[in-house]
Amino acid sequence: MTVCVLIFAHLKSVLGADALTLSQPEGATVRDLLHQLQEVYPALTPWLESTRVAVNREYATLDTLLHHGDEVALIPPVSGG
């Protein structure tokens, strides 16, 4: 199955893109997806602890199952005023 990963804020520079299309096996979870991203983009690892994940515009847990065509957003904390 294929999912679209949307990348926000400073994670764009870490990953070098604002969106990725990734293949995942059936039954994959958010945890599996993040593990794959860590393997391909090791510089992402220190940011994942504080990054929220949304699937189809709803916050998700690591155990959330992914489905073909899902939109997964990586949302790091932002600061500003």
Residue 37, CB-side half-sphere exposure with 13 Å CA sphere: 30
Residue 26 sits in a domain of what CATH number?
3.10.20.30
Q: How confident is the model at residue 60 (pLDDT cuts 50, 70, 90)?
A: very high
* Whole-prediction pTM: 0.91
- Give the DSSP H or E segment for 47: helix 45-48
Q: Which domain holds residue 70?
A: 2-75
- List all residues 6 or more positions away from 21 whose beta carbon is below 8 Å from its beta carbon: 2, 3, 4, 5
pLDDT tens-digit series, residues 7-58? 999 899 988 999 999 999 999 999 999 999 999 999 999 999 899 999 999 9
Q: Is residue 55 part of a domain?
A: yes
Instruction: Give the count of domains, the chain.
Output: 1
For residue 79, pLDDT beyond 70 = no
Q: Is residue 25 part of a domain?
A: yes
Q: Please state, in angstroms and rounded to a whole number, the distance separating the CA atoms of residues 22 and 67.
A: 12
